Structure 1
């Protein structure tokens, strides 16, 4: 059975979040949480929050054991972009693109029946 959790509008560039998300795919869920707590990046904190939510969803909604769960996929999607301007030289405006991410984590217990 598969369980998922979704964090939307995370204020971090999807490229930065994907670098960390790639490292946890295929790991046991508990092992992935331990690994991410040691990674000194903001994206790791965002992913571990979503991962803990997915584990809680599995335990409370589907009566699954946290020990049997593995990270099937960690998908980082592009969110909306805030378009801002900052003052530049000689009175010009320099554009700033503040990107957001949607973080989706899918956990599986190994059984294929849904």
Structure 2
């Protein structure tokens, strides 16, 4: 899809032609909303987690999706690292005890 008409709401001037849009304008709504929150949180993943109520791996996956949509290559992380971050986030939120976190980290290291 391309932009073919621009209009001024103030003076009613109209321009017709072929107009390019930026990469961010082409993002799907959910990715654009994610990026707005990400920027508002100054890229702090913990703040994005809190604001959106999602886990660290979900934030990373959404960010990777945006990066790929914009045409850049994403280096995939070790899946074990995402699991560790998930466990630490649950510990920080008080969802699990330190002992449970230690046990889960031991099991995820295998």
Q: What TM-score bracket applies, with the shorter chain setting the length?
A: under 0.3
Q: Output the TM-score relative to the length of structure 2.
A: 0.24
Structure holding more helix per residue: 2
Higher relative contact order (CA 8 A, sep 6+): 1
User: Larger radius of gyration, structure 1 or 2?
Assistant: 2
Q: Output the TM-score relative to the length of structure 1.
A: 0.24
